[in-house]
Amino acid sequence: MVVHQYVTSLNELEGAVAEINNMSIAVDGQRAPEDQPKPIFVIVSGAKDDNGKSWCPDCVKAEPVLEEAARELAPEFSVFVTVYLGREEWKDKKCVFRTDSRFRLSAIPALLKWPNAEPKLQEEQCANVGALKDFFEEFA
């Protein structure tokens, strides 16, 4: 089981992380140790329209691969927060996810472990099972 939250801004992401750090997580009846930090992974992706379709073709391609990797490859008790960005917001060169030192993204979709900008996967790497496996092995 994967815990997953969805947000649409940096403020919402920071709020979700604060909540996650204060919540108790159980997987298959086993509780996460309270004295250990929960692994938090952030996915930054293109927002979806009313029909559930993202404006970002790379995000559409990566979504099922990322979901499978979250279930099968991520460390136990991991929490994922997906940030959905509108096209205009992402295309703005001053977008906080491009400029903030915790992200410094140049492409989406992107996957990183909170709160570090490195290592991260971006664009087609997020649809590459081998790259995802290598990424998650760093946190095993």
Distance CA 132, CA 130 (A): 5
Distance CA 21, CA 108 (A): 26
Distance CA 140, CA 127 (A): 20
59, 62, 70, 81: the active-site residue? 59
56, 69, 70, 132: the active-site residue? 56
Q: What is the CB-side half-sphere exposure of residue 82 using CA atoms within 13 A?
A: 18
| Residue 56 annotated in active site | yes
* Residues tagged active-site: 56, 59
